[in-house]
Structure 1
Amino acid sequence: MPATAVDGVSEGVASAPAALTVAGSTESRAKPKCVEEHMQQTATVLVYSDNSTTREQIRLATGRRPAADVPQVEFVECATLPAVLAELERGGIDVCVLDGEAVPAGGMGVCRQIKDEVYDCPPVLLTIGRPQDAWLATWSRAEAAVTLPVEPVEFAAALAGLLRARLSVGT
């Protein structure tokens, strides 16, 4: 599945071993026309954290599709701020998930920076260490925030909401 590497981290579609693409899988079946017309095939989610375990938790909480009415998700994982900026400059990112506890560049500071510097910046879902840090998520201009450790239902709902908003605008 790996397509490219960003700071030694691969890009690919989130999947469990049982969901690998094989001949005759659901990915090769034709989708109903109404679904194809209203939904792009995949959404690209940038995941930034210096901690590979946190990135894995985010991928697992999202699954292949965070909600039935949003496209399947492909992940671009970044472990450093320069990698995040390079991926955003390349374009094609639908939502960013930033780890507020990352070091040395925390997700809150990264969020504020990209909101200032990136034209048509994708919406940001920020993971925060404590509920009391929600005000910092507001300061950073994140559209949504969830606490760590990631709670899968809450996380998937927040991500799906941002994907719906972003994709309904047509960007």
Structure 2
Amino acid sequence: MQPTATVLVYSDDSNTREQVRLATGRRPATDVPQVEFVECATPAAVIKELDRGGIDVCVLDGEAAPAGGMGICRQIKDEIFDCPPVLLLIGRPQDAWLATWSRAEAAVTLPVEPVEFASALAGLLRSKRALSA
């Protein structure tokens, strides 16, 4: 049996977290593990979960308030040892440069488009698995 992957989803908006869950389904692609979600609505919860360990990929909402996912991404890249890869949800394609500034490995625009999102998430899960092998 293939192990599961744990995906942390941060957004202050429960609808955005739901979009991520629905776009992912049980697994974002056939060649990656099934996904379990850890949902966080506050920056403090994100840090707590990452300190606990076991997170394979983070999905951070760049439009979240009061702290956006871009700033949190940059913070965790500096502060979390062996930080998992980050998929950033951005408000518009022109914000891609901010995703680069935040050091996110991938970015997709909101609202979540299921095929684009699942492809980006699967790519990060594959890269995480390749690094672990």
The two structures have a TM-score, normalised by structure 1, of: 0.76
Which residue of structure 2 lines up, in the alignment, with residue 95 of structure 1? 57
Q: Which has the higher helix share?
A: 2
Deviations 1:1-31 (A, max 9, x none): xxxxxxxxxxxxxxxxxxxxxxxxxxxxxxx
Secondary structure in 2 aligned to 1:167? helix
Question: Are residues 1:50 and 2:17 paired?
Answer: no
**One-letter amino acid of the structure 1 residue matched with residue 78 of structure 2:** D
One of 95, 110, 129 as aligned partner of 2:91: 129
Per-residue deviation, 1:169: 1.4
Q: Distance in 1 between matches of 2:131 and 2:62?
A: 27
Which residue of the partner structure matches residue 160 of structure 1? 122
Structure 1 residue runs without a partner (length 5+): 1-35
* SS in structure 2 at match of 1:46: strand
1:147 aligns with 2:81: no
In 2, Cα distance between the equivalents of 1:148 and 1:169? 28
- Aligned equivalent of 2:39: 77
1-structure distance, mates of 2:103, 2:132: 21
Relative to the length of structure 2, the TM-score reads 0.98
SS of equivalent to 2:6: strand
Task: Write the distance in 2 (CA, Å) between the matches of 1:168 and 1:76.
Answer: 22
> Any stretches of 5+ residues in structure 2 without a counterpart?
none
Structure with more contact order per residue of length (Cα contacts < 8 Å, sep ≥ 6)? 2
User: Within 2, Cα distance between the matches of 1:169 and 1:127?
Assistant: 24
1:170 paired to 2:126: no
Work out whether 1:112 is the aligned partner of 2:77.
no
Are residues 1:65 and 2:8 paired? no
1:75-115 deviation digits (Å, cap 9, x = unpaired): 00000000000000000000000000000010000000000
Aligned residue number for residue 11 of structure 1 = none
Instruction: State the Cα distance separating 1:141 from its structure 2 match.
Output: 0.2
CA–CA separation in structure 1 for the residues paired with 2:106 and 2:35:
18
Q: Which has the larger radius of gyration?
A: 1
Residue number in structure 2 paired with 1:29? none
